[in-house]
Chains A and B, each alone.
Chain A
Amino acid sequence: MLVCYFGALRERLGIKSEEITDLSGCHTAGDILTKLSAKSERHHQAFSSIGNICVAVDQEHASLESPLDGAEEIAFFPPVTGG
Chain B
Amino acid sequence: MAIIDVTDEPIMAGQTYEDFCRDNHAAGGISMFVGRVRGGATDILELEHYPGMTEKALKEISERATKRFQLIDIVIRHRIGAMKSGEDIVLVLAAAPHRHDAIHAVDYVMDFLKTAAPFWKRLTINGVSSWVDARESDQQAAERWG
Q: How distant is the Cα of A22 from the Cα of B61 in the complex, in angstroms?
A: 35
Q: How distant is the Cα of A28 from the Cα of B57 in the complex, in angstroms?
A: 22
Q: How distant is the Cα of A8 from the Cα of B46 in the complex, in angstroms?
A: 12
Chain B 70-114, CB-CB to A under 8 Å as 1, else 0, gives 000000001000000000011000000000000000000010011
Interface majority SS on B: helix, strand, loop or mixed?
mixed
Residues of B within 8 A of A80 (CB): 114-120, 134
**A78: Cβ under 8 A from any B Cβ:** yes
Residues of B within 8 A of A81 (CB): 114, 119-121, 131-134
**B56: Cβ under 8 A from any A Cβ:** yes
Of chain A, the residue at the smallest CB distance from B92 is A83
Q: How distant is the Cα of A55 from the Cα of B134 in the complex, in angstroms?
A: 15
**A70: Cβ under 8 A from any B Cβ:** no
**Smallest Cβ distance from B114 to chain A, in angstroms?**
4
A82 in contact with B117 (CB, 8 Å): yes
Task: Kindly identify, within residues 12 to 35 of chain B, every residue whose CB is under 8 Å from any CB belonging to chain A.
Answer: 35
Closest 4 CB pairs of A and B: A82-B119, A79-B134, A7-B120, A59-B53
Chain B 57-72, CB-CB to A under 8 Å as 1, else 0, gives 1000000000000000
A56: contacting residue among B50, B89, B115, CB under 8 A: B50
Task: Kindly identify, within residues 110 to 146 of chain B, every residue whose CB is under 8 Å from any CB belonging to chain A.
Answer: 110, 113-122, 131-134, 138
**A27: Cβ under 8 A from any B Cβ:** no
B50: contacting residue among A11, A59, A79, A83, CB under 8 A: A59
